[in-house]
Amino acid sequence: MRRAKILAPIMVAVLLMASIGVALAQSPHFISRPTNASGPDALGNLTVNFKIAGLGSNVWTTVTASADATAEYACRNRGGNFPSDPKKQEVAGPVTASGGFESGKNGQITGSLTLRPPAATISCPGNQQLVLLNVTYTNVAVSEPNVGTPQPIPGTFSRTFLTIN
């Protein structure tokens, strides 16, 4: 009985210290080297790649990529030509993409999210179709609630598809 009274507090202390060690080991952060962006691709999409470590085993979380984007659209006829006075529109604003990911047993997530150009609101006449002329992404970042501060991805990412003379 006396031995049990002495061992019980010691066992509680050992378990408490072990759980604090596990909690301290879980320090979510982005690994900056594989966290980057590529594109825009042929559709004007920007792919944001990331790696998060220190999440703990089998943790489900939501990761969000964000950027400021500017896209220019125009109406082009079915022959592939622009009218002498084409309808054009520039659209600018924030774009985001989010996805759910699981860390696995190693406490890491490696993934990617796709940012799309802001949508146009103009309507083209019946014999014309809307085309993307160019797109630019700036202030690209990726975030995860447990990490805290979003991870910025430096650079300007742009692509010109067509020009109107």
**pLDDT digit string, tens, across residues 94-115:** 999 999 999 999 999 999 999 9
Q: Can you tell me the distance from the alpha carbon of 53 to that of 109, in angstroms, rounded to the nearest whole number?
A: 7
Average pLDDT value for residue range 63-80: 96
Q: Record the pTM.
A: 0.81
Q: What is the pLDDT of residues 19-70, one digit of tens each?
A: 333 344 479 999 888 899 999 999 999 999 999 999 999 999 999 999 999 9
Q: Is the pLDDT of residue 10 over 90?
A: no
- The fraction of the chain above a pLDDT of 70, given in percent, is 85
Q: Can you tell me the distance from the alpha carbon of 76 to that of 133, in angstroms, rounded to the nearest whole number?
A: 10
CA 138 to chain centre: 13
Q: Is the pLDDT of residue 118 over 60?
A: yes
